[in-house]
Structure 1
Amino acid sequence: MKIKTFYTSLFAALIAVSSFGQGKIIKLSTSEKDYDMKNATLAPYAGEGISGVQLTTPNQKSGVAWLKGKTFTEGVIEFDVMGANNPGASFVGIAFHAQNDSTYDCIYFRPFNFVAPKQENRDHMVQYISMPENDWYTLREKRTGEFEKEIKNAPNPDKWFHARIEVKGDAIRVFVNHNPTPALVVNKLNAHHDGKIGLWVGSNSFGRFANLKF
Protein backbone atom coordinates (compact mmCIF):
# COMPACT_ATOMS: atom_id res chain seq x y z
CA MET A 1 0.00 0.00 0.00
CA LYS A 2 2.87 2.34 0.86
CA ILE A 3 4.56 1.53 -2.47
CA LYS A 4 1.35 2.33 -4.35
CA THR A 5 1.00 5.61 -2.47
CA PHE A 6 4.63 6.51 -3.23
CA TYR A 7 4.26 5.93 -6.97
CA THR A 8 0.95 7.79 -7.04
CA SER A 9 2.62 10.80 -5.42
CA LEU A 10 5.63 10.53 -7.73
CA PHE A 11 3.39 10.40 -10.80
CA ALA A 12 1.47 13.45 -9.61
CA ALA A 13 4.72 15.33 -9.05
CA LEU A 14 6.00 14.47 -12.52
CA ILE A 15 2.73 15.63 -14.07
CA ALA A 16 2.99 18.90 -12.15
CA VAL A 17 6.56 19.48 -13.36
CA SER A 18 5.78 18.61 -16.96
CA SER A 19 2.71 20.83 -17.01
CA PHE A 20 4.53 23.83 -15.52
CA GLY A 21 4.58 26.42 -18.22
CA GLN A 22 2.08 24.68 -20.47
CA GLY A 23 -0.30 27.55 -21.06
CA LYS A 24 -2.94 28.38 -23.60
CA ILE A 25 -2.40 31.00 -26.29
CA ILE A 26 -4.79 33.88 -25.69
CA LYS A 27 -6.01 35.48 -28.88
CA LEU A 28 -5.64 39.16 -28.10
CA SER A 29 -8.78 41.01 -29.05
CA THR A 30 -8.29 44.24 -30.96
CA SER A 31 -11.39 45.77 -29.35
CA GLU A 32 -11.19 47.77 -26.14
CA LYS A 33 -14.54 46.32 -25.02
CA ASP A 34 -12.75 43.06 -24.23
CA TYR A 35 -10.43 44.78 -21.75
CA ASP A 36 -10.74 46.90 -18.66
CA MET A 37 -8.75 49.88 -19.85
CA LYS A 38 -6.80 52.07 -17.45
CA ASN A 39 -5.18 55.26 -18.78
CA ALA A 40 -4.47 53.79 -22.22
CA THR A 41 -5.88 53.22 -25.67
CA LEU A 42 -5.68 50.01 -27.68
CA ALA A 43 -5.63 49.38 -31.42
CA PRO A 44 -4.76 46.53 -33.80
CA TYR A 45 -1.19 46.29 -35.01
CA ALA A 46 0.61 44.13 -37.57
CA GLY A 47 4.26 44.24 -38.52
CA GLU A 48 7.22 41.98 -39.25
CA GLY A 49 4.84 39.10 -39.89
CA ILE A 50 3.23 39.30 -36.43
CA SER A 51 -0.31 40.45 -35.71
CA GLY A 52 -1.28 41.77 -32.33
CA VAL A 53 -2.28 44.97 -30.56
CA GLN A 54 -0.71 48.29 -29.73
CA LEU A 55 -1.26 49.83 -26.30
CA THR A 56 -0.55 53.54 -25.86
CA THR A 57 -0.59 55.83 -22.84
CA PRO A 58 -0.50 59.55 -23.58
CA ASN A 59 0.76 61.00 -20.30
CA GLN A 60 3.09 60.63 -17.33
CA LYS A 61 1.17 57.69 -15.85
CA SER A 62 1.42 54.02 -16.74
CA GLY A 63 -1.41 52.36 -18.64
CA VAL A 64 -2.89 48.88 -18.50
CA ALA A 65 -5.31 46.80 -20.56
CA TRP A 66 -6.66 44.18 -18.12
CA LEU A 67 -7.93 41.05 -19.86
CA LYS A 68 -11.59 40.69 -18.92
CA GLY A 69 -12.42 37.42 -17.21
CA LYS A 70 -8.78 36.32 -16.97
CA THR A 71 -6.70 35.78 -13.84
CA PHE A 72 -3.26 34.38 -13.21
CA THR A 73 -1.94 32.48 -10.19
CA GLU A 74 1.37 30.81 -11.03
CA GLY A 75 3.10 29.10 -13.91
CA VAL A 76 4.43 30.74 -17.07
CA ILE A 77 3.47 33.87 -18.97
CA GLU A 78 4.89 34.09 -22.50
CA PHE A 79 4.42 36.82 -25.08
CA ASP A 80 6.00 38.65 -27.99
CA VAL A 81 6.52 42.36 -27.45
CA MET A 82 7.99 45.40 -29.19
CA GLY A 83 8.81 48.85 -27.90
CA ALA A 84 11.17 51.38 -29.46
CA ASN A 85 14.63 52.88 -29.18
CA ASN A 86 13.14 56.03 -27.69
CA PRO A 87 15.08 56.99 -24.53
CA GLY A 88 12.83 57.65 -21.56
CA ALA A 89 9.65 56.88 -23.49
CA SER A 90 9.45 53.13 -24.09
CA PHE A 91 8.41 50.86 -21.23
CA VAL A 92 6.61 47.62 -22.11
CA GLY A 93 5.57 44.60 -20.09
CA ILE A 94 2.96 42.51 -18.29
CA ALA A 95 1.13 43.27 -15.04
CA PHE A 96 -0.21 40.37 -12.98
CA HIS A 97 -1.54 39.39 -9.55
CA ALA A 98 -3.52 42.64 -9.70
CA GLN A 99 -5.94 43.35 -6.87
CA ASN A 100 -7.07 46.58 -8.50
CA ASP A 101 -5.79 49.20 -10.95
CA SER A 102 -3.02 50.35 -8.60
CA THR A 103 -2.00 47.17 -6.73
CA TYR A 104 -0.14 44.64 -8.86
CA ASP A 105 3.17 43.04 -9.82
CA CYS A 106 4.80 43.93 -13.12
CA ILE A 107 7.72 42.82 -15.24
CA TYR A 108 8.65 45.33 -17.90
CA PHE A 109 11.43 46.20 -20.33
CA ARG A 110 13.16 49.42 -21.34
CA PRO A 111 14.08 48.72 -25.00
CA PHE A 112 16.00 51.98 -25.38
CA ASN A 113 18.51 50.64 -22.87
CA PHE A 114 19.16 47.55 -25.02
CA VAL A 115 21.68 49.63 -26.98
CA ALA A 116 22.58 52.26 -24.39
CA PRO A 117 26.22 53.37 -24.62
CA LYS A 118 26.61 53.64 -20.83
CA GLN A 119 26.76 50.57 -18.58
CA GLU A 120 24.70 52.44 -15.98
CA ASN A 121 21.78 52.49 -18.43
CA ARG A 122 22.34 48.96 -19.71
CA ASP A 123 21.90 47.74 -16.13
CA HIS A 124 18.28 48.92 -16.34
CA MET A 125 16.96 46.81 -19.25
CA VAL A 126 14.46 44.59 -17.41
CA GLN A 127 12.61 45.58 -14.24
CA TYR A 128 10.33 44.12 -11.57
CA ILE A 129 8.01 46.41 -9.61
CA SER A 130 5.38 45.77 -6.94
CA MET A 131 2.88 48.57 -6.96
CA PRO A 132 2.07 50.84 -5.27
CA GLU A 133 4.71 50.66 -2.55
CA ASN A 134 7.66 49.50 -4.63
CA ASP A 135 7.88 51.40 -7.89
CA TRP A 136 11.10 51.48 -9.91
CA TYR A 137 12.39 54.63 -8.24
CA THR A 138 11.89 53.30 -4.70
CA LEU A 139 13.58 50.00 -5.53
CA ARG A 140 16.48 51.67 -7.31
CA GLU A 141 17.08 53.98 -4.34
CA LYS A 142 16.68 51.45 -1.53
CA ARG A 143 17.74 48.13 -3.12
CA THR A 144 19.99 49.17 -5.97
CA GLY A 145 20.56 46.59 -8.68
CA GLU A 146 18.37 43.91 -7.11
CA PHE A 147 15.18 44.26 -9.15
CA GLU A 148 16.53 45.46 -12.51
CA LYS A 149 19.24 43.91 -14.66
CA GLU A 150 21.04 43.96 -17.97
CA ILE A 151 19.93 41.44 -20.60
CA LYS A 152 22.88 39.61 -22.09
CA ASN A 153 22.66 39.50 -25.91
CA ALA A 154 19.89 42.08 -25.71
CA PRO A 155 17.34 42.23 -28.55
CA ASN A 156 17.07 44.94 -31.18
CA PRO A 157 15.07 47.70 -29.44
CA ASP A 158 12.95 48.34 -32.55
CA LYS A 159 12.06 44.69 -33.20
CA TRP A 160 9.73 42.09 -31.72
CA PHE A 161 11.28 39.92 -29.01
CA HIS A 162 10.01 37.01 -26.94
CA ALA A 163 9.60 37.15 -23.16
CA ARG A 164 8.94 34.33 -20.73
CA ILE A 165 8.04 34.99 -17.10
CA GLU A 166 8.03 32.06 -14.69
CA VAL A 167 6.16 32.54 -11.43
CA LYS A 168 6.22 29.90 -8.71
CA GLY A 169 5.29 30.93 -5.21
CA ASP A 170 7.29 34.07 -4.48
CA ALA A 171 9.96 33.30 -7.09
CA ILE A 172 9.94 35.10 -10.44
CA ARG A 173 12.34 34.42 -13.31
CA VAL A 174 12.43 36.26 -16.63
CA PHE A 175 13.86 34.87 -19.88
CA VAL A 176 14.35 36.71 -23.17
CA ASN A 177 14.41 35.23 -26.68
CA HIS A 178 14.57 31.63 -25.43
CA ASN A 179 17.89 32.14 -23.65
CA PRO A 180 18.11 29.32 -21.06
CA THR A 181 19.76 31.70 -18.58
CA PRO A 182 17.31 34.05 -16.85
CA ALA A 183 17.81 37.76 -17.39
CA LEU A 184 16.21 38.55 -14.02
CA VAL A 185 15.56 36.51 -10.87
CA VAL A 186 13.64 38.11 -8.00
CA ASN A 187 11.31 37.30 -5.12
CA LYS A 188 7.91 38.97 -4.94
CA LEU A 189 7.54 41.92 -2.61
CA ASN A 190 3.92 41.33 -1.65
CA ALA A 191 1.66 38.53 -0.43
CA HIS A 192 -0.65 38.42 -3.47
CA HIS A 193 -0.52 35.17 -5.44
CA ASP A 194 -3.57 35.55 -7.64
CA GLY A 195 -5.24 38.35 -9.55
CA LYS A 196 -5.92 40.06 -12.84
CA ILE A 197 -3.43 40.04 -15.69
CA GLY A 198 -2.94 42.72 -18.32
CA LEU A 199 -0.79 44.37 -20.94
CA TRP A 200 1.24 47.23 -19.46
CA VAL A 201 3.04 50.31 -20.76
CA GLY A 202 4.86 53.04 -18.86
CA SER A 203 4.55 56.80 -19.10
CA ASN A 204 4.44 58.36 -22.57
CA SER A 205 4.89 54.92 -24.12
CA PHE A 206 3.44 52.52 -26.61
CA GLY A 207 3.87 48.77 -26.63
CA ARG A 208 3.01 46.11 -29.19
CA PHE A 209 1.93 42.70 -27.95
CA ALA A 210 1.20 39.34 -29.58
CA ASN A 211 1.09 35.60 -28.91
CA LEU A 212 0.24 35.89 -25.22
CA LYS A 213 0.15 32.54 -23.44
CA PHE A 214 -0.36 31.64 -19.80
Structure 2
Amino acid sequence: MRPGLTLLSSLVAAVLATAATAQMADLSDPDALTARNVALSTAEHRGVSALRVVEAGERSEGEDKLAIVLPDGFRDGTIEVMLAGDRVEGAPEGARGFVGLAFRVQPDGSAFEAIYLRPYNGRSEDQLQRNHSIQYISYPAAGWRTLREETPGKYESYVDLEPGAWTRLRIEVAGTTARAYVGEASQPALIVRDLRMGTAEGGVALWIGPGTLAHFRDLSITRN
Protein backbone atom coordinates (compact mmCIF):
# COMPACT_ATOMS: atom_id res chain seq x y z
CA MET A 1 0.00 0.00 0.00
CA ARG A 2 1.27 3.47 -0.88
CA PRO A 3 2.35 5.71 2.04
CA GLY A 4 -0.41 8.23 1.31
CA LEU A 5 -3.11 5.56 1.47
CA THR A 6 -1.60 4.12 4.63
CA LEU A 7 -1.74 7.52 6.32
CA LEU A 8 -5.32 8.09 5.14
CA SER A 9 -6.40 4.67 6.41
CA SER A 10 -4.82 5.39 9.77
CA LEU A 11 -6.59 8.73 10.04
CA VAL A 12 -9.96 7.20 9.15
CA ALA A 13 -9.45 4.43 11.69
CA ALA A 14 -8.54 6.99 14.36
CA VAL A 15 -11.64 9.09 13.64
CA LEU A 16 -13.91 6.03 13.78
CA ALA A 17 -12.34 4.86 17.01
CA THR A 18 -12.84 8.29 18.57
CA ALA A 19 -16.45 8.50 17.39
CA ALA A 20 -17.25 5.13 18.97
CA THR A 21 -15.67 5.84 22.35
CA ALA A 22 -18.05 5.56 25.29
CA GLN A 23 -18.45 8.75 27.31
CA MET A 24 -19.35 8.46 30.98
CA ALA A 25 -22.03 10.96 31.99
CA ASP A 26 -21.64 12.77 35.30
CA LEU A 27 -24.76 12.14 37.41
CA SER A 28 -23.22 13.46 40.63
CA ASP A 29 -24.52 17.02 40.14
CA PRO A 30 -28.33 17.16 39.73
CA ASP A 31 -28.13 20.86 38.84
CA ALA A 32 -26.16 19.97 35.70
CA LEU A 33 -29.13 18.04 34.29
CA THR A 34 -32.32 19.42 32.77
CA ALA A 35 -35.31 18.20 34.77
CA ARG A 36 -38.69 17.90 33.10
CA ASN A 37 -41.49 17.05 35.54
CA VAL A 38 -39.03 15.33 37.89
CA ALA A 39 -37.14 16.20 41.07
CA LEU A 40 -33.46 15.26 41.25
CA SER A 41 -31.14 14.69 44.19
CA THR A 42 -28.17 12.57 45.16
CA ALA A 43 -28.69 9.61 47.48
CA GLU A 44 -27.24 6.28 48.48
CA HIS A 45 -29.10 3.22 47.24
CA ARG A 46 -28.11 -0.24 48.38
CA GLY A 47 -24.71 1.00 49.45
CA VAL A 48 -23.91 2.93 46.27
CA SER A 49 -24.02 6.67 45.55
CA ALA A 50 -26.60 7.46 42.88
CA LEU A 51 -28.91 10.02 41.31
CA ARG A 52 -32.40 9.85 42.84
CA VAL A 53 -35.30 10.69 40.51
CA VAL A 54 -38.96 11.11 41.50
CA GLU A 55 -41.93 12.97 40.10
CA ALA A 56 -42.07 16.70 40.74
CA GLY A 57 -45.31 17.86 42.32
CA GLU A 58 -48.44 15.75 42.32
CA ARG A 59 -48.53 12.33 40.70
CA SER A 60 -49.66 12.37 37.06
CA GLU A 61 -50.07 9.82 34.28
CA GLY A 62 -47.92 11.83 31.86
CA GLU A 63 -45.09 9.99 30.10
CA ASP A 64 -42.82 13.05 29.82
CA LYS A 65 -40.85 12.71 33.05
CA LEU A 66 -37.21 13.20 32.12
CA ALA A 67 -33.79 14.11 33.41
CA ILE A 68 -32.01 15.21 30.24
CA VAL A 69 -28.31 14.34 30.35
CA LEU A 70 -27.27 15.02 26.75
CA PRO A 71 -29.29 17.79 25.05
CA ASP A 72 -28.56 16.80 21.45
CA GLY A 73 -26.22 15.03 19.06
CA PHE A 74 -27.39 11.44 19.50
CA ARG A 75 -28.80 9.52 16.54
CA ASP A 76 -27.15 6.09 16.51
CA GLY A 77 -25.10 4.42 19.21
CA THR A 78 -25.31 2.69 22.57
CA ILE A 79 -26.64 3.93 25.90
CA GLU A 80 -25.93 1.90 29.03
CA VAL A 81 -26.87 2.54 32.65
CA MET A 82 -27.33 0.91 36.02
CA LEU A 83 -30.80 1.69 37.33
CA ALA A 84 -33.22 0.67 40.06
CA GLY A 85 -36.97 1.21 40.00
CA ASP A 86 -39.37 1.04 42.93
CA ARG A 87 -42.56 2.72 44.14
CA VAL A 88 -42.64 5.93 46.13
CA GLU A 89 -44.32 5.67 49.50
CA GLY A 90 -48.09 5.68 49.12
CA ALA A 91 -48.07 4.86 45.40
CA PRO A 92 -50.97 2.71 44.16
CA GLU A 93 -50.68 -0.92 43.09
CA GLY A 94 -50.67 0.19 39.47
CA ALA A 95 -47.31 1.90 39.93
CA ARG A 96 -44.88 -0.75 38.67
CA GLY A 97 -41.58 1.04 39.33
CA PHE A 98 -41.41 2.36 35.76
CA VAL A 99 -37.80 3.25 34.96
CA GLY A 100 -35.73 3.49 31.78
CA LEU A 101 -33.97 5.59 29.16
CA ALA A 102 -35.16 8.07 26.55
CA PHE A 103 -33.22 8.80 23.37
CA ARG A 104 -33.42 11.11 20.37
CA VAL A 105 -35.04 13.56 22.79
CA GLN A 106 -36.22 16.72 21.04
CA PRO A 107 -35.75 20.22 22.54
CA ASP A 108 -37.55 20.67 25.87
CA GLY A 109 -38.54 17.01 25.84
CA SER A 110 -41.38 17.65 23.39
CA ALA A 111 -40.82 14.29 21.66
CA PHE A 112 -38.64 11.24 22.24
CA GLU A 113 -38.29 7.48 21.99
CA ALA A 114 -37.98 5.46 25.21
CA ILE A 115 -37.54 1.93 26.47
CA TYR A 116 -38.33 1.27 30.09
CA LEU A 117 -38.79 -1.50 32.67
CA ARG A 118 -41.67 -2.42 34.95
CA PRO A 119 -39.80 -4.11 37.83
CA TYR A 120 -42.94 -5.16 39.71
CA ASN A 121 -44.08 -7.16 36.67
CA GLY A 122 -40.89 -9.19 36.36
CA ARG A 123 -41.77 -11.76 39.01
CA SER A 124 -45.54 -11.39 39.08
CA GLU A 125 -47.64 -14.55 39.49
CA ASP A 126 -49.81 -13.23 36.65
CA GLN A 127 -48.25 -14.34 33.35
CA LEU A 128 -49.93 -11.52 31.44
CA GLN A 129 -48.28 -8.97 33.71
CA ARG A 130 -44.94 -10.73 33.33
CA ASN A 131 -45.26 -10.27 29.57
CA HIS A 132 -45.38 -6.49 30.17
CA SER A 133 -42.00 -6.23 31.93
CA ILE A 134 -40.18 -4.14 29.29
CA GLN A 135 -41.83 -1.54 27.07
CA TYR A 136 -41.10 0.77 24.12
CA ILE A 137 -42.94 4.07 23.65
CA SER A 138 -42.65 7.06 21.33
CA TYR A 139 -43.79 10.26 23.00
CA PRO A 140 -46.19 11.94 22.40
CA ALA A 141 -47.72 10.04 19.48
CA ALA A 142 -47.46 6.44 20.65
CA GLY A 143 -47.71 5.84 24.38
CA TRP A 144 -47.87 2.37 25.91
CA ARG A 145 -51.67 2.25 25.85
CA THR A 146 -51.88 3.22 22.18
CA LEU A 147 -49.24 0.68 21.15
CA ARG A 148 -50.83 -2.11 23.19
CA GLU A 149 -54.23 -1.45 21.64
CA GLU A 150 -52.88 -1.20 18.09
CA THR A 151 -50.43 -4.13 18.16
CA PRO A 152 -50.72 -6.18 21.38
CA GLY A 153 -47.41 -7.67 22.49
CA LYS A 154 -45.26 -6.16 19.72
CA TYR A 155 -43.60 -3.41 21.74
CA GLU A 156 -43.28 -5.15 25.12
CA SER A 157 -41.96 -8.42 26.46
CA TYR A 158 -40.93 -10.42 29.52
CA VAL A 159 -37.66 -10.04 31.36
CA ASP A 160 -36.72 -11.10 34.89
CA LEU A 161 -36.69 -8.06 37.19
CA GLU A 162 -36.66 -7.32 40.90
CA PRO A 163 -38.08 -4.07 42.33
CA GLY A 164 -35.41 -1.81 43.78
CA ALA A 165 -32.53 -3.98 42.58
CA TRP A 166 -29.64 -2.53 40.60
CA THR A 167 -30.21 -3.60 36.99
CA ARG A 168 -28.13 -2.98 33.87
CA LEU A 169 -30.04 -1.63 30.86
CA ARG A 170 -28.30 -1.25 27.50
CA ILE A 171 -29.99 0.14 24.41
CA GLU A 172 -28.38 -0.10 20.98
CA VAL A 173 -29.83 2.26 18.36
CA ALA A 174 -29.18 2.03 14.62
CA GLY A 175 -31.42 3.75 12.10
CA THR A 176 -35.00 2.74 12.81
CA THR A 177 -34.04 -0.21 15.03
CA ALA A 178 -33.44 -0.37 18.78
CA ARG A 179 -32.35 -3.40 20.78
CA ALA A 180 -32.63 -3.45 24.57
CA TYR A 181 -30.51 -5.75 26.74
CA VAL A 182 -31.17 -6.30 30.44
CA GLY A 183 -28.65 -7.54 32.98
CA GLU A 184 -25.79 -9.51 31.50
CA ALA A 185 -27.91 -11.14 28.79
CA SER A 186 -26.25 -11.60 25.40
CA GLN A 187 -29.62 -11.55 23.62
CA PRO A 188 -31.99 -8.57 23.58
CA ALA A 189 -35.09 -8.61 25.75
CA LEU A 190 -36.85 -6.37 23.24
CA ILE A 191 -36.27 -5.48 19.58
CA VAL A 192 -38.04 -2.55 17.93
CA ARG A 193 -37.53 -2.39 14.17
CA ASP A 194 -39.81 0.55 13.40
CA LEU A 195 -38.91 3.43 15.69
CA ARG A 196 -41.73 5.92 15.26
CA MET A 197 -39.44 8.96 14.97
CA GLY A 198 -37.50 7.39 12.11
CA THR A 199 -33.84 8.39 12.18
CA ALA A 200 -34.25 11.63 14.10
CA GLU A 201 -31.36 13.08 16.09
CA GLY A 202 -31.75 14.34 19.63
CA GLY A 203 -30.66 14.02 23.21
CA VAL A 204 -30.44 11.32 25.87
CA ALA A 205 -32.38 11.32 29.13
CA LEU A 206 -33.21 9.26 32.17
CA TRP A 207 -36.92 8.38 32.23
CA ILE A 208 -39.43 7.50 34.94
CA GLY A 209 -43.16 6.86 35.06
CA PRO A 210 -45.96 7.61 37.55
CA GLY A 211 -45.38 6.74 41.20
CA THR A 212 -41.74 5.76 40.67
CA LEU A 213 -38.78 6.10 42.99
CA ALA A 214 -35.73 5.62 40.73
CA HIS A 215 -31.98 5.59 41.16
CA PHE A 216 -29.40 5.81 38.35
CA ARG A 217 -25.61 5.46 38.14
CA ASP A 218 -22.83 4.59 35.69
CA LEU A 219 -24.43 6.08 32.59
CA SER A 220 -22.36 5.80 29.41
CA ILE A 221 -23.19 7.08 25.94
CA THR A 222 -21.49 5.93 22.74
CA ARG A 223 -22.30 7.83 19.57
CA ASN A 224 -21.66 6.06 16.27
Common fold: TM-score over 0.5: yes
Candidates 36, 40, 47, aligned match of 1:49 = 47
- The alpha-carbon deviation at position 92 of structure 1 amounts to 0.4
Contact 2:120–2:162 (CA under 8 A) maintained in structure 1: no
Candidates 96, 102, 114, aligned match of 1:106 = 114
Q: TM-score, normalised by structure 1?
A: 0.85
Q: Aligned to 1:146, what secondary structure does the other structure show? A: coil
Candidates 65, 87, 90, aligned match of 2:67 = 65
Q: Find the counterpart in structure 2 of residue 88 from structure 1.
A: 94
Q: Aligned to 1:162, what secondary structure does the other structure show? A: strand
Q: Percent identity between the aligned chains?
A: 31
Q: Measure the CA separation in 2 of the matches of 1:43 and 1:70.
A: 23
Q: Measure the CA separation in 1 of the matches of 2:175 and 2:199.
A: 10
Q: Find the counterpart in structure 2 of residue 141 from structure 1.
A: 149
The alpha-carbon distance between structure 1 residues 19 and 123, as it changes in their structure 2 partners (threshold 3 A), is: farther
- The alpha-carbon deviation at position 68 of structure 1 amounts to 5.5
Q: Find the counterpart in structure 1 of residue 170 from structure 2.
A: 164
The alpha-carbon distance between structure 1 residues 46 and 126, as it changes in their structure 2 partners (threshold 3 A), is: same
Q: Aligned to 1:137, what secondary structure does the other structure show? A: helix
Candidates 198, 209, 214, aligned match of 2:205 = 198
The alignment of Structure 1 onto Structure 2 pairs a total of residues equal to: 209
Q: Measure the CA separation in 1 of the matches of 2:209 and 2:33.
A: 18
Q: TM-score, normalised by structure 2?
A: 0.82
Candidates 209, 219, 224, aligned match of 1:212 = 219
Q: Deviations over 1:38-61 (max 9, x none)?
A: 111001021223221011014112
RMSD: 2.8
The alpha-carbon distance between structure 1 residues 21 and 49, as it changes in their structure 2 partners (threshold 3 A), is: farther
Contact 1:74–1:193 (CA under 8 A) maintained in structure 2: no
- The alpha-carbon deviation at position 35 of structure 1 amounts to 1.8
Contact 1:96–1:195 (CA under 8 A) maintained in structure 2: yes
- The alpha-carbon deviation at position 199 of structure 1 amounts to 1.0
- The alpha-carbon deviation at position 158 of structure 1 amounts to 2.2
Can you give the 5+ residue segments of structure 2 that lack an aligned partner in the other structure?
none
Q: Measure the CA separation in 1 of the matches of 2:48 and 2:210.
A: 25
